[in-house]
A and B are shown apart, each in its own frame.
Chain A
Amino acid sequence: MIWQDFKYAIRLLSKKPGFTALTTLVMATGIGLSVYMFTFFHTILFKDLDFKDGASLVMISGSVNGKQDGYRINALDYAEIMRSVKGLKEYGGYNNANVVVSATEGAIRFPAVLAQANIFQLTRTEPILGRSFRSEDEKIGSEKVVVIGFELWQSQFSGGNDVLKQSMRINGEKYNVVGVMPEGYMFPRNAQIWLPLQIDPRLLTRENSTVLRGLAHLEDGVSMAEVNRELSVVMKRIENQHPQTNTGVGAHVTSIPGVGGADGAPVIYTMHTVAVLILLLASINVGNLLLSRALERGKETAIRVALGAPRSRLISQMLWESTIICTLGGMIGFLVMAWGLEVTEPIVATFYADPLAFWWDFGIDSYSVTLFLIILISTIFVTGLLPAWRSTGGDFNAVLRDGTRGAQGKKAGRLNRALVISEIFISMTVLIASAVMVQSAYEQTNRDMGANTENTLVASVLLPEANYDSDAKKAQFTKTLQSRLENSGAIETAMLATSLPGHYSSISKVIIEGKEYGKDSNNSYPSANDIAIMPGSLAKLGVELRQGRYFNNSDDGLEKSTALVSESFAKRHFPQQDAIGQRFRLAKTTKDTLQWVTIVGVVEHTIQGNRDGDAASMPSIYRPLTQTPGKQLTIAMQLSAKANLAVQHLRKVLQGIDSELASYRIETYQASNDRITAPVVFISSLTAIFALAGVVLAASGIYGVMANTISQRTQEIGIKRALGADEERITKEFVFAGVKLLLWGGIPGILAGGFMGFAMAQMFGTSYSALIFMVITMVSIVVATVLVATYLPTKNALRLEPSQALHYE
């Protein structure tokens, strides 16, 4: 019997290939897009790591005033957490670092992990050669050891078994190789060099302690939420004991992938909501198309019921139709989605200068398959049960008697209205949320970050600590490097800084002389981007001087203390006074930063790092590299010859100064800036695709339902015209009904979309006028769609003479 129903459904579908293709396509779009979106975020943020006990592995991070932006934890707080929090076990701390390795092919920079001894035990993994770390390795002054990854072993030691007798030069010092990890092993980041984390006990003061990232396993049966409650109690206690350093400082656990998601929550929720709504939209549309087909066959169904067909048979037959359509569409969607995931990885890789997180392996996994099956079954029911319930639940006797004419019946009318209202609601929500996202991305990519990027190459260089252990040596290196670079035909000007305009920089707390700050907490000091830059570089980069002077030769000297500040800094801290001549110092207590620094000039605002919201408006201070040398430098080179000549020259100069110097991340200045906005552009393009799909689905859906409703009411229109209603009256009646639906669906839609849009606009610092403009534009689009969707079919129905409309079937 079921087989019979199946064959019958196939016959019905193949009789109307256009209808079948359309519904299949709609379903493919809905299922494909939503599975993609869910899998994408799952891969990035929610996946359990593929280690034994990976599900209970958590990361402990800090927060300041509720903001979780990847803050590390003070080692003293961490020690307190280890003593007090009962829900965690196997604590291990680590830090990320970049190291310079003197390799066979010259100095190379590698990402590395400085880890406590149990780092490998946390993942239940043993080295394939040698040993893992021991607690002795953590003591300062112990033998310098390194554990390396399989791939590094292959490339640097040719996979030789004598590797354990060998050593590596790392940051200018000799490290003995004591272990090799298995192939593909990376933890907790995409790095293949593990060094012991050594904490200097002299640095364990609250004011200036080492910071680290915590790792641990959850105790059996304990949830992250429970641990977070424990953590907040502990952190509160520390805050009470040490208000000066710890006011507003918190700690929390997340999964390791989840670390990145904390502050992006509005975007992540929005994207997921949009995905679910698109799926719903697709299902509603297909359900409605199936329904109108079922209604076309209403008479046939009524006859079958009259002949004694049980209701279950009728439902089974209709469910088959939706099963076939959803499965076919779902499989197409799934294939396209799988392809989409494959191409995602290379795209995402362009967002980051470093290798991607090791668990970011985009592709079909058990999660996506499970999700696909769940979604498939739900869509079958949503699309199938709607028409089945409607067309078999009706009073078949009334259908057969055909007693009244014209109108479509109360139930069908109510259902159609509900359909249109939900389509309006969904499209409004999706459109507004997506528009705000796209607008934010547009604003971010077009924000002026303060410098010219034309015809400029950038490269980074990391000074090995051992060779450059004093400020004097670093300062000397900086000067030598700049003069040698500029002494060539290939490079017109060279600029050096710890961070160029547009790039991420470190952020410091500053204390303005003569200002009162909340005495109880260090977190009440204002923050600023803290940049050291070579005198002359700001002017060459096109960062304009607003007041005072740029740095010059008079600023040279480690004992001097002058600074430039950004216009935003001057406005924020000296709104009434002249900033020139004012003094500030960094809120650190080490001796060398205690001195007051005098402001000698004000330059235009530069954006350092993220282009959104708070980050974009963060003011900056600039110190001369000749006063505060750094060990990680970025070089910008304006070219007078071909780029590859300049790169060759750069390599030669570095080698000439020190064979252990590594330059890395060589690219155009523009590219390095684009990378910072690339994730936002990617996410907003994704959203734009969703929005586009949403608009097409919703518009066609609304039109479909409206056209259907109105055509079902052609006879009614005929009757009304026979009774003397003129065309204007009929048109008004339908448009008015459309407007009513618009209000019912649109107002909640505006609220929901506006809410999500507002959350994102706040996060990205999108201007509210743009937000309002977007809302109005999107609302107009939906309003226009609904009006067209009512007006055209009405006009169509009115084209018939009343006498014809009366006989319309």
Chain B
Amino acid sequence: MSNTLIKLENIQKIFFTDEVETHALSDITLTIDKGEYVSISGPSGCGKSTLLSLLGLLDASTEGLYQLAEHDVSNISKRERARIRNMEIGFIFQSFNLISDLDVEENIELPLTYRKDLNKAQRKTMVDNALAKVNMSHRAKHFPSQLSGGQQQRIAVARAIAGNPSIILADEPTGNLDSKNAEAVMELLDLLHAEGATICMVTHDPRSAQRAARNIDILDGQVISDKPLSKENKSNTIVAA
């Protein structure tokens, strides 16, 4: 069995709005292996979020081939896409995107309720585990509006990992957080990576980017550099922080 989790070939994404074509992504080819920790960086508007949306099946590419775990997912039904998002992918957003009508537990449980293979008790265990992992068990009954930004993002991480996805996609997870809270979230991601999770993270912040093992640089919808980060670099950053 191959170790490749994600394989993109000649991916293009064009947005058509009011007769204006925006080439958000042009000709992206890359592979990501199981267990990798990849950071994606580049200037604003270069297509990072678009790439992440494609990876997460939140949107479809205009051209190109996308294989996820050796299955072609470029042309599958909407229902199948939803199922894959649910089972295989965990999202962490810059703006947390918790649902304010639901309390912390319910927010985390939400993606699990979309699965047919879990009963109430199993879901409860998974929610509790996730909450424990992000160290938020004491806030289970709170509503999002009663939590700080850092706490909300930790709940969002818990929600992303509760279903044991094969890949975690994070779009500027620390963008709305101060450095202390950002640090806590980054450490959580480190921990998840250490436990074997595949992580794909968009970030502006070079210090956060340094935590990954591989950095992809994008400019104008194209990959301009794709290189592994040295161990020293990483440890240096940790020391510096």
Give the residue of A404, A728, A803, A806 whose beta carbon is less than 8 angstroms from that of B99: A404
**Complex formed: what's the CA distance from A410 to B106 in Å?**
15
Given contacts A723-B110, A801-B59, contact A405 B82 (CB under 8 A): no
Taking a contact as CB atoms under 8 Å apart, the answer to whether A404 and B145 are in contact is yes
A720 to chain B, nearest CB (A): 7
Chain B residue numbers with a CB within 8 Å of A715 are 97
One of B28-36, B85-93, B130-138 at the interface: B85-93
A407 to B49 alpha-carbon distance, docked (Å): 22
Pair A724/B111 contact, Cβ less than 8 Å: yes
- Write out the residue numbers on chain B whose beta carbons fall within 8 Å of the beta carbon of A725: 82, 86, 114
B159: A residues at CB distance < 8 A: 723
- The CA-CA distance from A310 to B56 in the complex, in Å, is 46
Let me know if B99 and A407 touch, CB within 8 A. Answer: yes
Given contacts A405-B95, A801-B59, are A724 and B114 in contact (CB under 8 A)?
yes
A721 at the interface (CB under 8 A from B): yes
A residues near B59, Cβ cutoff 8 Å: 801-804
Interface string of B69-93 (1 = CB under 8 A from A): 0000000001100111111010101
**How many residue pairs at the A-B interface have CB separations less than 8 Å?**
95
Residue A179 is within 8 A (CB to CB) of chain B in the complex: no
Question: In the complex, what distance in Å separates the CA atom of A405 from the CA atom of B96?
Answer: 8
B-chain residues with CB within 8 Å of residue A720 when the two chains form the complex: 99, 110
CB atoms of A406 and B82 under 8 A apart: no
Nearest A residue (CB) for B162: A723
Q: Which residues of B contact A407 (CB under 8 A)?
A: 99-102
Partner of B83, one of A403, A410, A726: A726
Q: Which residue on chain B has the smallest CB distance to residue A725?
A: B114
**Are A409 and B97 touching (Cβ within 8 A)?**
no
Q: Which of A353-409 contact B (CB under 8 A)?
A: 395, 398, 402-409
Which one of A410, A716, A724, A806 has the greatest number of beta carbons of chain B within 10 Å? A724
A403's contact among B60, B111, B149, by CB below 8 Å, is which?
B149
A534 to B173 CA separation, bound complex (whole angstroms): 100
In the bound complex, how far is the Cα of B84 from the Cα of A806, in angstroms?
18
B152 touches A719 (CB 8 A): no
Q: How far apart are B76's CB and chain A's nearest CB, in angstroms?
A: 12
Q: Which residues from B are CB-within-8-Å of A402?
A: 95
Q: B residues within 8 A CB of A804?
A: 59
The complex places the Cα of A724 from the Cα of B58 at a distance, in Å, of 10
State how many angstroms separate the Cβ of B161 from the closest Cβ of chain A.
12
Is B144 close to A, CB under 8 A? Answer: yes
Task: State which residues 96-129 of B face A: CB under 8 Å.
Answer: 96-102, 110-111, 114-115
Range, interface on chain B? 35 or more
Which residues does chain A contribute within 8 Å of B83, judged by CB atoms? 724, 726
Instruction: Report the Cα distance A716→B100, complex, angstroms.
Output: 9
- Tell me the nearest residue of chain B to A722, going by C-beta: B91
Please name all residues of chain A whose beta carbon is closer than 8 Å to the beta carbon of B58 when the two chains form the complex: 721-722, 801-803, 806
The B-contacting residues of A in range 687-723, CB under 8 angstroms, are 715-716, 719-723
Question: Which listed residue (A410, A719, A724, A726) contacts B97, Cβ 8 A?
Answer: A719
Q: Is A239 an interface residue (CB 8 A)?
A: no
Interface centre among A395, A410, A806 (most CB of B within 10 A): A806
Task: Write the nearest CB–CB distance from A714 to chain B, whole angstroms.
Answer: 12
Q: B82: which of A413, A724, A801 is its contact (CB, 8 Å)?
A: A724
**Residue B53 CB within 8 A of the other chain:** yes
Closest chain A residue to B152 by CB distance? A403
Q: Are B79 and A403 in contact (CB under 8 A)?
A: no
Interchain CA distance A724-B84 in the complex, whole Å: 7
Interface string of A711-748 (1 = CB under 8 A from B): 00001100111111111110000000000000000000
Using A721-B85, A723-B85, A725-B86 as known contacts, say yes or no to A716 and B78 having CB atoms under 8 A apart: no
Q: How far is the CA of A720 from the CA of B98 in the complex (A)?
A: 10
Flag if A726 contacts B99 (CB, 8 Å): no
Other-chain residue from B101, B110, B152 in contact with A410 (beta carbon distance below 8 A):
B101
Contact assessment for B101 and A723 in the assembled complex, using a CB-CB cutoff below 8 Å: no
Is A406 within 8 A of B85, CB to CB? no
Q: Which residue of A lies closest to B102 (CB)?
A: A407
Which residues of A sit under 8 angstroms from B85, Cβ to Cβ?
A: 721-724
Known: A403-B145, A723-B114, A801-B58. A409 touches B82 (CB 8 A): no
How many residues of A are in contact with the other chain, CB < 8 A? Answer: 30
Nearest CB of B to A80, in Å:
72
Which A residue's beta carbon lies closest to that of B98? A404
Contact for A405 among B87, B97, B115, CB less than 8 A: B97
- Is the Cβ of A723 less than 8 Å from the Cβ of B111? yes
User: In the docked arrangement, what's the CA distance between A23 and B145, Å?
Assistant: 34
B residues less than 8 Å from A413 (CB atoms): 101
Inter-chain contact A406/B86, CB cutoff 8 Å: no
CA distance A726 to B145 in the complex (A): 27
Q: Are A722 and B56 in contact (CB under 8 A)?
A: yes
Across the interface, do B114 and A403 meet the contact criterion of CB distance under 8 Å? no
What is the minimal beta-carbon distance from B92 to any residue of chain A, in angstroms?
Answer: 10
Which residue of chain A is the closest to B99 with respect to CB atoms?
A407
Closest-by-CB residue of A relative to B86 is A724
Bound complex: CA of A427 vs CA of B218, how far in Å? 57
Q: In the complex, are the beta carbons of A728 and B86 less than 8 A apart?
A: no
Residue ID in chain B nearest A403 by CB atoms: B145
Q: How far is the CB of B53 from chain A (nearest CB, A)?
A: 4
**In the complex, A34 Cα to B185 Cα: how many Å?**
61
Taking the nearest CB of chain B, how far is it from the CB of A224, in angstroms? 55
Chain A hits for B149, CB < 8 A: 403
Chain A residues near B144 (CB, 8 Å)? Answer: 403-404
User: Does A726 lie within 8 Å of B78, measured CB to CB?
Assistant: yes
Chain A hits for B100, CB < 8 A: 404-407, 409-410
Q: Which residue of B lies closest to A409 (CB)?
A: B100
Chain A residues whose CB sits within 8 angstroms of the CB of B78 once the complex forms: 726-727
Q: Write out the residue numbers on chain A whose beta carbons fall within 8 Å of the beta carbon of B86.
A: 723-725
Q: In the complex, A801 Cα to B24 Cα: how many Å?
A: 16
Residues on B with C-beta less than 8 A from A726 are 78-79, 82-83, 114
CA distance A392 to B144 in the complex (A): 21
B99 CB contacts on chain A under 8 angstroms = 404, 406-407, 716, 719-720
29 pairs, A vs B, C-beta closer than 8 Å: A403-B144, A404-B96, A404-B99, A404-B145, A404-B152, A405-B97, A407-B102, A410-B101, A715-B97, A719-B97, A719-B99, A722-B56, A722-B58, A722-B85, A722-B91, A723-B86, A723-B91, A724-B87, A724-B89, A725-B82, A725-B114, A727-B79, A801-B60, A802-B53, A803-B53, A803-B59, A804-B59, A806-B58, A806-B97
Known: A722-B56, A802-B53. 19 other contacts (CB 8 A): A402-B95, A404-B98, A404-B152, A405-B97, A405-B98, A406-B98, A407-B100, A409-B101, A722-B58, A722-B91, A723-B85, A724-B87, A725-B114, A726-B78, A726-B79, A726-B83, A727-B78, A801-B59, A803-B50
A-side interface residues toward B, CB under 8 Å? 395, 398, 402-410, 413, 715-716, 719-729, 801-804, 806
The 10 closest A-B pairs by CB, nearest first: A724-B86, A726-B82, A404-B100, A723-B111, A803-B53, A803-B58, A803-B59, A404-B144, A802-B58, A724-B85
